[in-house]
Structure 1
Protein backbone atom coordinates (compact mmCIF):
# COMPACT_ATOMS: atom_id res chain seq x y z
CA UNK A 1 0.00 0.00 0.00
CA UNK A 2 3.04 2.26 -0.33
CA UNK A 3 1.37 4.11 -3.21
CA UNK A 4 -1.65 5.00 -1.07
CA UNK A 5 -2.18 8.68 -0.39
CA UNK A 6 -1.54 9.90 3.13
CA UNK A 7 -4.69 9.68 5.24
CA UNK A 8 -5.84 12.64 7.34
CA UNK A 9 -8.26 11.74 10.13
CA UNK A 10 -10.67 14.50 11.18
CA UNK A 11 -12.65 14.22 14.41
CA UNK A 12 -16.08 15.60 15.23
CA UNK A 13 -17.38 18.00 17.88
CA UNK A 14 -16.05 17.67 21.45
CA UNK A 15 -13.45 15.10 20.37
CA UNK A 16 -9.81 15.45 19.36
CA UNK A 17 -7.11 13.65 17.43
CA UNK A 18 -6.95 11.08 20.26
CA UNK A 19 -10.19 9.39 19.15
CA UNK A 20 -8.52 7.97 16.02
CA UNK A 21 -5.74 6.15 17.86
CA UNK A 22 -7.09 2.61 17.40
CA UNK A 23 -7.89 3.15 13.71
CA UNK A 24 -4.41 4.59 13.10
CA UNK A 25 -2.88 1.42 14.56
CA UNK A 26 -4.81 -0.74 12.11
CA UNK A 27 -3.90 1.52 9.19
CA UNK A 28 -0.23 1.36 10.16
CA UNK A 29 -0.49 -2.43 10.14
CA UNK A 30 -1.58 -2.16 6.52
CA UNK A 31 1.32 0.11 5.64
CA UNK A 32 -0.90 3.18 5.33
CA UNK A 33 0.40 6.50 6.63
CA UNK A 34 -2.23 8.36 8.65
CA UNK A 35 -2.23 11.48 10.78
CA UNK A 36 -5.06 12.52 13.08
CA UNK A 37 -5.37 16.28 13.48
CA UNK A 38 -6.90 18.57 16.09
CA UNK A 39 -9.45 20.84 14.44
CA UNK A 40 -9.65 24.51 15.31
CA UNK A 41 -11.41 24.90 18.65
CA UNK A 42 -10.71 21.33 19.75
CA UNK A 43 -7.99 19.27 21.41
CA UNK A 44 -4.80 21.26 21.85
CA UNK A 45 -6.43 24.03 19.81
CA UNK A 46 -9.49 24.30 22.04
CA UNK A 47 -9.25 25.90 25.48
CA UNK A 48 -12.18 25.08 27.75
CA UNK A 49 -14.30 27.62 29.64
CA UNK A 50 -12.85 28.29 33.09
CA UNK A 51 -16.12 27.34 34.75
CA UNK A 52 -15.78 23.78 33.50
CA UNK A 53 -12.92 23.05 35.92
CA UNK A 54 -13.66 25.58 38.70
CA UNK A 55 -14.24 24.10 42.15
CA UNK A 56 -16.74 24.17 43.61
CA UNK A 57 -18.52 23.67 40.30
CA UNK A 58 -21.00 26.45 39.51
CA UNK A 59 -23.61 25.19 37.03
CA UNK A 60 -24.99 28.70 36.44
CA UNK A 61 -21.55 30.08 35.58
CA UNK A 62 -20.88 27.11 33.30
CA UNK A 63 -24.13 27.78 31.47
CA UNK A 64 -23.37 31.45 30.84
CA UNK A 65 -19.60 31.89 30.46
CA UNK A 66 -18.71 32.94 26.89
CA UNK A 67 -16.85 30.22 25.06
CA UNK A 68 -13.14 30.75 24.33
CA UNK A 69 -13.75 29.15 20.91
CA UNK A 70 -16.75 31.28 19.95
CA UNK A 71 -14.80 32.93 17.12
CA UNK A 72 -14.25 29.65 15.24
CA UNK A 73 -16.22 29.27 12.01
CA UNK A 74 -16.51 26.58 9.39
CA UNK A 75 -14.39 28.74 7.07
CA UNK A 76 -11.62 29.34 9.61
CA UNK A 77 -11.55 25.67 10.60
CA UNK A 78 -11.46 24.68 6.92
CA UNK A 79 -8.53 27.02 6.27
CA UNK A 80 -6.59 25.45 9.14
CA UNK A 81 -7.44 21.95 7.90
CA UNK A 82 -6.20 22.90 4.43
CA UNK A 83 -2.87 23.96 5.95
CA UNK A 84 -2.69 20.70 7.91
CA UNK A 85 -3.45 18.58 4.84
CA UNK A 86 -0.93 20.52 2.78
CA UNK A 87 1.76 19.87 5.40
CA UNK A 88 0.90 16.19 5.85
CA UNK A 89 0.71 15.52 2.13
CA UNK A 90 4.00 17.22 1.37
CA UNK A 91 2.80 17.99 -2.14
CA UNK A 92 0.55 14.94 -2.53
CA UNK A 93 -3.24 15.05 -2.23
CA UNK A 94 -4.52 13.25 0.86
CA UNK A 95 -7.46 11.00 1.60
CA UNK A 96 -9.50 12.93 4.16
CA UNK A 97 -11.64 10.94 6.61
CA UNK A 98 -14.16 12.99 8.59
CA UNK A 99 -16.49 12.06 11.44
CA UNK A 100 -19.69 13.81 12.57
CA UNK A 101 -19.36 17.62 12.52
CA UNK A 102 -15.85 17.17 11.17
CA UNK A 103 -17.70 16.52 7.93
CA UNK A 104 -18.72 20.19 7.80
CA UNK A 105 -15.08 21.24 8.07
CA UNK A 106 -13.83 18.66 5.57
CA UNK A 107 -16.54 19.61 3.08
CA UNK A 108 -15.71 23.31 3.33
CA UNK A 109 -12.02 22.50 2.96
CA UNK A 110 -12.65 20.34 -0.13
CA UNK A 111 -14.50 23.21 -1.78
CA UNK A 112 -11.75 25.64 -0.74
CA UNK A 113 -8.82 23.52 -1.93
CA UNK A 114 -9.92 20.47 -3.96
CA UNK A 115 -6.39 20.00 -5.26
CA UNK A 116 -5.37 18.86 -1.77
CA UNK A 117 -7.96 16.09 -1.56
CA UNK A 118 -7.52 12.71 -3.24
CA UNK A 119 -10.79 11.49 -1.77
CA UNK A 120 -13.25 11.94 1.07
CA UNK A 121 -14.52 9.31 3.48
CA UNK A 122 -17.39 10.44 5.68
CA UNK A 123 -18.14 8.50 8.87
CA UNK A 124 -21.65 9.26 10.19
CA UNK A 125 -20.78 12.81 9.19
CA UNK A 126 -22.70 16.02 8.62
CA UNK A 127 -22.15 17.08 4.99
CA UNK A 128 -23.70 20.45 4.08
CA UNK A 129 -23.90 19.72 0.36
CA UNK A 130 -27.49 20.88 0.09
CA UNK A 131 -26.69 24.57 0.28
CA UNK A 132 -27.52 25.26 3.92
CA UNK A 133 -25.58 25.28 7.19
CA UNK A 134 -24.58 22.05 8.85
CA UNK A 135 -26.70 22.94 11.85
CA UNK A 136 -29.87 22.57 9.81
CA UNK A 137 -29.70 18.80 10.14
CA UNK A 138 -30.17 19.04 13.91
CA UNK A 139 -33.64 20.44 13.21
CA UNK A 140 -34.71 18.46 10.16
CA UNK A 141 -37.56 15.93 10.50
CA UNK A 142 -35.22 12.95 10.07
CA UNK A 143 -33.42 13.94 13.29
CA UNK A 144 -36.34 13.36 15.66
CA UNK A 145 -34.64 10.40 17.38
CA UNK A 146 -31.32 12.03 18.23
CA UNK A 147 -30.19 11.97 21.85
CA UNK A 148 -27.78 14.91 21.80
CA UNK A 149 -30.07 17.90 22.15
CA UNK A 150 -31.10 17.13 25.72
CA UNK A 151 -27.45 17.06 26.82
CA UNK A 152 -26.86 20.73 25.92
CA UNK A 153 -26.63 22.87 29.06
CA UNK A 154 -26.29 26.39 27.63
CA UNK A 155 -27.88 28.53 24.96
CA UNK A 156 -25.43 28.33 22.01
CA UNK A 157 -26.44 31.84 20.92
CA UNK A 158 -25.40 33.18 24.33
CA UNK A 159 -22.12 31.34 24.91
CA UNK A 160 -21.06 30.82 21.30
CA UNK A 161 -20.78 27.05 21.58
CA UNK A 162 -22.73 23.83 21.81
CA UNK A 163 -21.84 23.10 25.45
CA UNK A 164 -22.16 19.80 27.31
CA UNK A 165 -21.09 18.97 30.86
CA UNK A 166 -19.28 15.70 30.24
CA UNK A 167 -18.17 15.59 33.87
CA UNK A 168 -21.71 15.27 35.25
CA UNK A 169 -21.91 11.74 36.70
CA UNK A 170 -25.72 11.89 36.62
CA UNK A 171 -25.59 12.18 32.81
CA UNK A 172 -22.93 9.53 32.21
CA UNK A 173 -25.33 6.91 30.87
CA UNK A 174 -27.03 9.44 28.57
CA UNK A 175 -23.65 10.56 27.22
CA UNK A 176 -22.55 6.97 26.62
CA UNK A 177 -25.84 6.17 24.90
CA UNK A 178 -25.51 9.20 22.61
CA UNK A 179 -21.89 8.65 21.55
CA UNK A 180 -20.64 5.22 22.58
CA UNK A 181 -23.62 2.89 22.97
CA UNK A 182 -21.73 -0.17 21.71
CA UNK A 183 -18.33 0.71 23.20
CA UNK A 184 -17.13 -1.23 26.25
CA UNK A 185 -17.55 0.66 29.51
CA UNK A 186 -13.84 1.01 30.25
CA UNK A 187 -13.09 2.57 26.87
CA UNK A 188 -16.23 4.71 26.94
CA UNK A 189 -15.35 6.13 30.35
CA UNK A 190 -11.84 6.96 29.15
CA UNK A 191 -13.25 8.69 26.05
CA UNK A 192 -15.83 10.69 28.01
CA UNK A 193 -13.06 11.96 30.28
CA UNK A 194 -11.23 13.33 27.23
CA UNK A 195 -14.16 15.17 25.66
CA UNK A 196 -14.06 18.98 25.52
CA UNK A 197 -17.21 20.83 26.67
CA UNK A 198 -17.51 23.29 23.77
CA UNK A 199 -18.22 22.69 20.11
CA UNK A 200 -17.89 26.10 18.40
CA UNK A 201 -21.34 27.10 17.13
CA UNK A 202 -19.78 28.97 14.21
CA UNK A 203 -19.01 25.65 12.49
CA UNK A 204 -22.59 24.36 12.07
CA UNK A 205 -24.07 27.86 11.91
CA UNK A 206 -22.19 29.08 8.84
CA UNK A 207 -24.00 28.98 5.52
CA UNK A 208 -21.90 26.97 3.07
CA UNK A 209 -22.07 26.44 -0.66
CA UNK A 210 -20.35 23.63 -2.51
CA UNK A 211 -20.03 23.37 -6.27
CA UNK A 212 -19.98 20.48 -8.71
CA UNK A 213 -16.79 21.86 -10.28
CA UNK A 214 -14.75 21.84 -7.05
CA UNK A 215 -16.23 19.71 -4.27
CA UNK A 216 -18.22 17.55 -6.67
CA UNK A 217 -15.14 16.44 -8.58
CA UNK A 218 -13.68 14.60 -5.57
CA UNK A 219 -14.42 10.86 -5.17
CA UNK A 220 -16.11 10.10 -1.90
CA UNK A 221 -17.65 7.42 0.25
CA UNK A 222 -19.88 7.36 3.30
CA UNK A 223 -19.88 4.99 6.27
CA UNK A 224 -23.37 4.78 7.74
CA UNK A 225 -23.75 3.75 11.37
CA UNK A 226 -27.05 1.93 11.83
CA UNK A 227 -27.21 2.29 15.63
CA UNK A 228 -26.26 5.96 15.73
CA UNK A 229 -28.03 7.96 18.45
CA UNK A 230 -26.28 11.25 17.65
CA UNK A 231 -26.88 11.47 13.88
CA UNK A 232 -29.78 9.10 13.16
CA UNK A 233 -29.55 6.79 10.17
CA UNK A 234 -32.39 8.63 8.43
CA UNK A 235 -30.30 11.83 8.53
CA UNK A 236 -27.30 9.99 7.14
CA UNK A 237 -29.38 8.69 4.22
CA UNK A 238 -30.67 12.18 3.49
CA UNK A 239 -27.12 13.53 3.48
CA UNK A 240 -25.99 10.90 1.00
CA UNK A 241 -28.77 11.90 -1.40
CA UNK A 242 -27.73 15.55 -1.15
CA UNK A 243 -24.07 14.68 -1.77
CA UNK A 244 -25.04 12.71 -4.87
CA UNK A 245 -26.95 15.69 -6.23
CA UNK A 246 -23.76 17.73 -6.52
CA UNK A 247 -21.13 15.04 -7.18
CA UNK A 248 -19.84 13.68 -10.44
CA UNK A 249 -19.89 10.11 -9.12
CA UNK A 250 -22.29 8.36 -6.75
CA UNK A 251 -21.44 7.91 -3.09
CA UNK A 252 -19.87 4.57 -2.22
CA UNK A 253 -21.77 3.51 0.90
CA UNK A 254 -20.60 1.04 3.54
CA UNK A 255 -22.91 0.14 6.40
CA UNK A 256 -21.60 -0.64 9.87
CA UNK A 257 -23.88 -1.90 12.61
CA UNK A 258 -22.35 0.59 14.99
CA UNK A 259 -23.03 3.46 17.33
CA UNK A 260 -21.86 6.98 16.48
CA UNK A 261 -18.24 6.05 17.23
CA UNK A 262 -17.03 3.06 15.18
CA UNK A 263 -13.46 4.32 15.60
CA UNK A 264 -13.73 2.95 19.15
CA UNK A 265 -16.21 0.08 18.76
CA UNK A 266 -15.09 -1.29 15.37
CA UNK A 267 -11.67 0.19 14.55
CA UNK A 268 -10.54 -2.73 12.39
CA UNK A 269 -13.68 -2.65 10.26
CA UNK A 270 -13.43 1.12 9.85
CA UNK A 271 -9.75 0.86 8.93
CA UNK A 272 -10.71 -1.68 6.26
CA UNK A 273 -13.14 0.81 4.71
CA UNK A 274 -10.50 3.53 4.75
CA UNK A 275 -7.92 1.18 3.23
CA UNK A 276 -10.30 0.33 0.37
CA UNK A 277 -10.88 4.02 -0.29
CA UNK A 278 -7.13 4.63 -0.27
CA UNK A 279 -6.70 1.81 -2.78
CA UNK A 280 -9.21 3.45 -5.11
CA UNK A 281 -7.41 6.78 -4.79
CA UNK A 282 -4.04 5.22 -5.60
CA UNK A 283 -5.55 3.50 -8.65
CA UNK A 284 -6.94 6.80 -9.92
CA UNK A 285 -3.57 8.49 -9.41
Structure 2
Protein backbone atom coordinates (compact mmCIF):
# COMPACT_ATOMS: atom_id res chain seq x y z
CA UNK A 1 0.00 0.00 0.00
CA UNK A 2 0.98 3.61 -0.50
CA UNK A 3 0.18 5.91 2.41
CA UNK A 4 -0.06 9.69 1.91
CA UNK A 5 0.69 11.20 5.32
CA UNK A 6 -0.79 14.60 6.21
CA UNK A 7 0.41 16.40 9.34
CA UNK A 8 -1.53 18.52 11.80
CA UNK A 9 -0.99 21.97 13.27
CA UNK A 10 2.54 23.29 13.98
CA UNK A 11 4.01 20.16 12.40
CA UNK A 12 5.10 19.36 8.85
CA UNK A 13 6.28 16.41 6.75
CA UNK A 14 9.23 15.91 9.15
CA UNK A 15 6.97 14.47 11.84
CA UNK A 16 6.58 11.25 9.81
CA UNK A 17 10.36 10.67 9.46
CA UNK A 18 10.39 7.80 11.96
CA UNK A 19 7.22 6.19 10.66
CA UNK A 20 8.12 5.97 6.97
CA UNK A 21 11.03 3.51 7.47
CA UNK A 22 8.78 1.34 9.62
CA UNK A 23 6.17 1.23 6.84
CA UNK A 24 8.91 0.32 4.39
CA UNK A 25 10.02 -2.60 6.58
CA UNK A 26 6.45 -3.86 6.45
CA UNK A 27 6.48 -3.61 2.65
CA UNK A 28 4.60 -0.34 2.23
CA UNK A 29 5.39 3.17 1.02
CA UNK A 30 4.86 6.36 2.98
CA UNK A 31 4.79 9.78 1.33
CA UNK A 32 4.74 12.80 3.66
CA UNK A 33 3.18 16.10 2.57
CA UNK A 34 4.12 19.63 3.60
CA UNK A 35 0.93 21.67 3.69
CA UNK A 36 1.24 25.35 2.66
CA UNK A 37 2.39 27.45 5.59
CA UNK A 38 4.40 24.55 7.02
CA UNK A 39 7.79 22.92 6.60
CA UNK A 40 9.40 23.72 3.25
CA UNK A 41 6.28 25.70 2.34
CA UNK A 42 6.28 27.82 5.50
CA UNK A 43 6.40 31.09 3.54
CA UNK A 44 3.26 30.27 1.55
CA UNK A 45 -0.20 31.42 2.50
CA UNK A 46 -2.30 28.67 4.07
CA UNK A 47 -5.81 28.30 2.66
CA UNK A 48 -8.36 25.53 2.53
CA UNK A 49 -7.94 25.28 -1.24
CA UNK A 50 -4.16 25.23 -1.47
CA UNK A 51 -3.85 22.77 1.40
CA UNK A 52 -6.25 20.46 -0.46
CA UNK A 53 -4.29 20.91 -3.68
CA UNK A 54 -0.98 20.07 -1.99
CA UNK A 55 -2.45 16.65 -1.18
CA UNK A 56 -3.98 16.17 -4.62
CA UNK A 57 -0.59 16.90 -6.21
CA UNK A 58 0.87 13.71 -4.71
CA UNK A 59 -2.26 11.55 -4.57
CA UNK A 60 -2.34 8.48 -6.82
CA UNK A 61 -5.16 6.09 -7.56
CA UNK A 62 -5.54 3.58 -4.74
CA UNK A 63 -3.67 5.55 -2.08
CA UNK A 64 -4.51 5.45 1.61
CA UNK A 65 -4.86 8.98 3.00
CA UNK A 66 -3.79 9.48 6.62
CA UNK A 67 -4.61 12.72 8.42
CA UNK A 68 -3.27 13.52 11.87
CA UNK A 69 -5.08 16.00 14.14
CA UNK A 70 -6.05 19.05 12.08
CA UNK A 71 -4.91 17.16 8.99
CA UNK A 72 -8.22 15.31 9.21
CA UNK A 73 -9.85 18.39 7.73
CA UNK A 74 -7.39 18.39 4.85
CA UNK A 75 -7.72 14.72 3.90
CA UNK A 76 -11.50 15.23 3.90
CA UNK A 77 -11.39 18.14 1.46
CA UNK A 78 -8.95 16.19 -0.74
CA UNK A 79 -11.22 13.13 -0.69
CA UNK A 80 -14.17 15.34 -1.58
CA UNK A 81 -12.27 16.55 -4.65
CA UNK A 82 -11.05 13.13 -5.78
CA UNK A 83 -13.03 10.34 -4.10
CA UNK A 84 -12.27 7.78 -6.79
CA UNK A 85 -8.52 8.05 -6.15
CA UNK A 86 -8.71 7.22 -2.44
CA UNK A 87 -8.78 3.58 -1.33
CA UNK A 88 -9.13 4.31 2.39
CA UNK A 89 -9.09 7.24 4.81
CA UNK A 90 -7.42 7.00 8.21
CA UNK A 91 -8.14 9.71 10.80
CA UNK A 92 -5.33 9.61 13.36
CA UNK A 93 -6.51 11.49 16.46
CA UNK A 94 -7.98 13.73 13.78
CA UNK A 95 -10.76 16.20 13.22
CA UNK A 96 -13.66 16.03 10.76
CA UNK A 97 -15.49 18.94 9.10
CA UNK A 98 -19.12 19.66 9.77
CA UNK A 99 -21.02 20.51 6.64
CA UNK A 100 -21.45 24.26 6.21
CA UNK A 101 -19.40 25.13 9.30
CA UNK A 102 -15.97 26.65 9.75
CA UNK A 103 -13.13 24.52 11.09
CA UNK A 104 -13.21 26.19 14.56
CA UNK A 105 -16.93 25.52 14.78
CA UNK A 106 -16.39 21.88 13.84
CA UNK A 107 -13.78 21.56 16.59
CA UNK A 108 -16.00 23.14 19.24
CA UNK A 109 -19.46 21.71 18.57
CA UNK A 110 -20.72 18.86 20.66
CA UNK A 111 -23.27 16.36 19.39
CA UNK A 112 -26.45 17.48 21.09
CA UNK A 113 -29.83 18.79 20.17
CA UNK A 114 -29.24 22.48 20.74
CA UNK A 115 -25.91 22.70 18.85
CA UNK A 116 -24.03 23.77 21.99
CA UNK A 117 -20.51 25.06 21.46
CA UNK A 118 -17.65 24.18 23.74
CA UNK A 119 -14.68 26.34 22.84
CA UNK A 120 -12.53 25.43 25.86
CA UNK A 121 -9.16 24.42 24.40
CA UNK A 122 -7.73 23.58 27.79
CA UNK A 123 -4.17 24.32 28.74
CA UNK A 124 -2.92 24.89 25.23
CA UNK A 125 -3.53 28.64 25.23
CA UNK A 126 -1.04 29.09 28.06
CA UNK A 127 1.60 27.32 25.98
CA UNK A 128 1.25 29.56 22.93
CA UNK A 129 2.66 32.88 21.81
CA UNK A 130 0.41 35.00 19.58
CA UNK A 131 2.01 37.47 17.16
CA UNK A 132 0.24 40.66 16.12
CA UNK A 133 -0.84 39.02 12.84
CA UNK A 134 -2.38 36.06 14.68
CA UNK A 135 0.45 33.64 13.98
CA UNK A 136 0.81 31.12 16.80
CA UNK A 137 3.98 29.43 18.03
CA UNK A 138 4.71 27.20 21.00
CA UNK A 139 6.34 29.39 23.64
CA UNK A 140 8.21 26.69 25.51
CA UNK A 141 9.58 23.19 25.17
CA UNK A 142 7.82 22.19 28.39
CA UNK A 143 4.45 23.16 26.97
CA UNK A 144 4.98 21.33 23.70
CA UNK A 145 6.18 18.20 25.47
CA UNK A 146 3.22 18.20 27.84
CA UNK A 147 0.74 18.73 25.04
CA UNK A 148 2.20 16.60 22.23
CA UNK A 149 5.10 14.42 23.37
CA UNK A 150 4.79 13.40 27.01
CA UNK A 151 5.47 9.71 26.23
CA UNK A 152 8.51 10.42 24.04
CA UNK A 153 12.07 10.17 25.32
CA UNK A 154 13.85 13.45 25.96
CA UNK A 155 15.95 13.55 22.76
CA UNK A 156 12.93 12.80 20.59
CA UNK A 157 10.77 15.41 22.27
CA UNK A 158 13.55 18.01 21.98
CA UNK A 159 14.06 17.16 18.31
CA UNK A 160 10.35 17.55 17.62
CA UNK A 161 10.12 20.84 19.50
CA UNK A 162 13.05 22.22 17.53
CA UNK A 163 11.18 21.41 14.30
CA UNK A 164 7.82 22.89 15.30
CA UNK A 165 6.77 25.75 13.07
CA UNK A 166 4.24 28.57 13.23
CA UNK A 167 0.55 28.00 12.72
CA UNK A 168 -1.39 30.41 10.52
CA UNK A 169 -5.00 29.39 10.05
CA UNK A 170 -5.68 31.73 7.14
CA UNK A 171 -9.19 31.46 5.75
CA UNK A 172 -9.92 28.26 7.67
CA UNK A 173 -11.24 30.25 10.62
CA UNK A 174 -13.87 32.13 8.64
CA UNK A 175 -14.76 30.06 5.57
CA UNK A 176 -17.55 27.50 5.94
CA UNK A 177 -16.56 24.11 4.55
CA UNK A 178 -18.82 22.20 2.19
CA UNK A 179 -17.79 18.68 1.11
CA UNK A 180 -21.00 17.16 -0.32
CA UNK A 181 -19.19 14.64 -2.51
CA UNK A 182 -17.33 13.30 0.51
CA UNK A 183 -20.52 12.60 2.44
CA UNK A 184 -22.10 10.78 -0.49
CA UNK A 185 -19.02 8.87 -1.69
CA UNK A 186 -18.94 6.61 1.38
CA UNK A 187 -15.19 6.02 1.10
CA UNK A 188 -13.83 3.24 3.37
CA UNK A 189 -12.48 4.85 6.52
CA UNK A 190 -11.02 4.28 9.97
CA UNK A 191 -10.31 6.26 13.12
CA UNK A 192 -7.36 5.74 15.47
CA UNK A 193 -7.71 7.04 19.02
CA UNK A 194 -4.59 7.80 21.06
CA UNK A 195 -5.47 6.68 24.57
CA UNK A 196 -3.07 9.09 26.35
CA UNK A 197 -3.99 12.06 24.17
CA UNK A 198 -3.69 15.41 25.99
CA UNK A 199 -4.39 17.42 22.86
CA UNK A 200 -7.72 16.16 21.61
CA UNK A 201 -10.51 15.78 24.17
CA UNK A 202 -12.21 12.40 24.42
CA UNK A 203 -15.62 13.87 23.62
CA UNK A 204 -14.32 15.18 20.30
CA UNK A 205 -12.84 11.81 19.37
CA UNK A 206 -16.17 10.20 20.27
CA UNK A 207 -17.98 12.71 18.07
CA UNK A 208 -15.71 12.07 15.08
CA UNK A 209 -15.95 8.28 15.35
CA UNK A 210 -19.74 8.49 15.58
CA UNK A 211 -19.95 10.78 12.56
CA UNK A 212 -17.56 8.58 10.58
CA UNK A 213 -19.68 5.55 11.44
CA UNK A 214 -16.72 3.48 12.66
CA UNK A 215 -15.51 1.58 15.69
CA UNK A 216 -12.22 3.22 16.67
CA UNK A 217 -8.90 1.49 16.66
CA UNK A 218 -6.67 2.45 19.59
CA UNK A 219 -3.02 2.97 20.39
CA UNK A 220 -1.78 3.63 23.94
CA UNK A 221 0.18 6.79 23.24
CA UNK A 222 0.19 10.56 23.36
CA UNK A 223 -1.05 12.68 20.46
CA UNK A 224 2.16 11.80 18.58
CA UNK A 225 2.46 8.02 18.10
CA UNK A 226 4.53 8.53 14.94
CA UNK A 227 7.33 9.63 17.31
CA UNK A 228 6.74 7.59 20.47
CA UNK A 229 5.71 4.24 18.90
CA UNK A 230 6.33 4.40 15.15
CA UNK A 231 6.51 0.64 14.60
CA UNK A 232 3.26 0.03 16.44
CA UNK A 233 1.59 2.82 14.51
CA UNK A 234 2.89 1.50 11.19
CA UNK A 235 1.39 -1.90 11.96
CA UNK A 236 -1.92 -0.32 12.92
CA UNK A 237 -2.01 1.76 9.73
CA UNK A 238 -1.57 -1.36 7.62
CA UNK A 239 -4.39 -3.07 9.51
CA UNK A 240 -6.82 -0.16 9.30
CA UNK A 241 -7.78 -0.67 5.63
CA UNK A 242 -9.03 -4.16 6.48
CA UNK A 243 -11.76 -2.65 8.67
CA UNK A 244 -15.16 -1.52 7.45
CA UNK A 245 -17.57 1.17 8.70
CA UNK A 246 -20.38 0.12 10.98
CA UNK A 247 -22.64 3.07 10.20
CA UNK A 248 -23.25 5.95 7.79
CA UNK A 249 -21.35 9.20 7.48
CA UNK A 250 -23.05 12.04 9.32
CA UNK A 251 -22.45 15.53 7.86
CA UNK A 252 -23.42 17.17 11.19
Into which bin does the TM-score normalised by the smaller protein fall?
Answer: 0.7 to 0.9
Distance of aligned partners of 1:138 and 1:149 in 2 relative to their CA distance in 1, 3 Å threshold: farther
Q: Count residues with an aligned counterpart.
A: 237
Q: Does 1:83 align with 2:79?
A: no
Q: Does 1:102 align with 2:95?
A: no
Q: Which structure has the larger Rg over C-alpha atoms? A: 1
Aligned to 1:254: 217
Aligned to 2:154: 185
Aligned to 1:21: 17
- Bigger Cα displacement from structure 2, 215-224 vs 8-17: 215-224
Deviation track 1:15-74 (CA, whole Å, cap 9, x = no partner) reads 111111121111101111111111111110113xxxxxxxxxxxxxxxxxxxxx5x4211
Which one has the bigger helix percentage?
A: 1
Cα distance in structure 2, aligned partners of 1:127 and 1:135: 11
Cα distance in structure 1, aligned partners of 2:181 and 2:81: 13
TM (normalized to structure 2)?
A: 0.84
Distance of aligned partners of 1:24 and 1:215 in 2 relative to their CA distance in 1, 3 Å threshold: farther
Alignment of 1:83-162 (within 5 A): 83-85=57-59, 89=60, 92-140=61-109, 144=120, 146-154=122-130, 159-161=133-135
8 Å Cα contact 1:146/1:232 also seen in 2: no
8 Å Cα contact 2:95/2:107 also seen in 1: no
Structure 1 unaligned segments of length 5 or more: list them.
Answer: 48-68, 244-249
Distance of aligned partners of 1:279 and 1:239 in 2 relative to their CA distance in 1, 3 Å threshold: closer
TM (normalized to structure 1)?
A: 0.75
Aligned to 1:271: 234
8 Å Cα contact 1:110/1:215 also seen in 2: no
Question: Structure 1 residue 150: deviation in Å?
Answer: 2.4
Q: Does 1:10 align with 2:18?
A: no
Task: Identify the match of residue 28 of structure 2 among 32, 54, 61.
Answer: 32
